[in-house]
Amino acid sequence: DVAMNTVAPVWDGNETWLVLGGAGLLAAFPMVYSIFLPALYIGVFLLLAGLIFRGVAFEFRFKARTSRYLWNWAFAGGSTVASFAQGAVVGAYIQGFETANGVYVGGALDWLTPFTVLTGLGMLAGYSLLGSTWLIMKTEGYLQQWAYKITLPLLLAVLVVFGIIGVWTPFVDEMVRERWFSNLSIIWVLPVLTLLCAIQIYRSVRDRRDGMPFVATMGLFITTYLGLVVSRWPYVVPPEYTLWEAASAYESQLFLLLGLLFVIPIVLVYTAWTYWVFRGKVRAGEGYH
């Protein structure tokens, strides 16, 4: 219950960003939507199914009495499926899509390759590390000590898998390879920053600094995603269509921008307020539920 109550106050925020992201993608980049969905129907379905299953299990376990352990397993299963599917979808994006005249012409399972399986495992390991460092920051006692115990093995797993992905990625596509090896002095700052974040995680866990492991893990994710952006920029549908080619009409983008200028600040303010109100440690017998 303590672990669940650490995320219960901010749980519903995920749905907000999911809806905003999906609607914003359709409005701003309709070509991306029309290519991604046919190419990734199965992967996206698994991702959404995992998120739905996880959300249902999260709410039902608080109401259950004799079957709570079943909902715990359901929550873990949904989280695992959603994390792996998200990583596989990201890997498919790195690989690129087979298109012709703005239409996806590949097969339903072309996205599932050894590379995307590896990126799926990498995302699963990364989110596990993020979860353990979150528990370090938000809990105390036995649960916190358990989180401290598993964090370093998870960090090692993340470094191994991310390292293999980093070596493999430049050979997925010629453009990616040229991007990484033609601007060594600039782009290679990102792997160095990622390694520094990993070192900070290790040192803060060793020194039992409760808040720093989570902050450093967030930094690790940010530098990794920046590496993804650098690898494919400005192609939003790799390896053929750029950000500008896939964008919607000017009027549609202007309408979307005006809406986002109103909605995004509100979402950010109430999200920040929620985190502020529910800051600090969560203890047994206390919590949102």
- Average pLDDT over the chain reads 84
How many other β-carbons are positioned within 10 Å of the β-carbon of residue 106? Answer: 15
Backbone angles phi, psi at 67, to 5 degrees: -110, 20
pLDDT in tens, 86-101: 999 988 888 888 887 7
- Provide mean pLDDT across the span 147-162: 93
User: What is the rounded average pLDDT of the residues 175-181?
Assistant: 76
> What CA–CA distance (Å, rounded) separates 75 from 60?
10
pLDDT digits (tens, 9 = 90+) for 189-236: 888 898 999 999 999 999 888 889 999 999 999 988 888 888 788 877
Tens digits of per-residue pLDDT, 230-284?
Answer: 878 887 777 777 888 777 778 788 888 888 888 888 888 888 888 888 888 877 6
Cα–Cα distance between 104 and 31 in angstroms, integer? 10
Q: Are 111 and 39 in contact (CB under 8 A)?
A: yes
Cα–Cα distance for residue pair 226/222, rounded to 1 Å: 6
**What are the strands, taking DSSP E only, across 17-173?**
99-100, 103-104
Indicate the pTM of the whole model.
0.86
42-91 pLDDT per residue, tens: 888 898 888 888 888 887 887 777 777 888 888 889 889 999 999 999 88
For position 161, what pLDDT does the model report? 93
Reduced to 3 states, what is the DSSP secondary structure of residue 137? helix
Nearest to 190 by CA among 225, 234, 165, 223: 223
Residue 287: its pLDDT value, please? 55
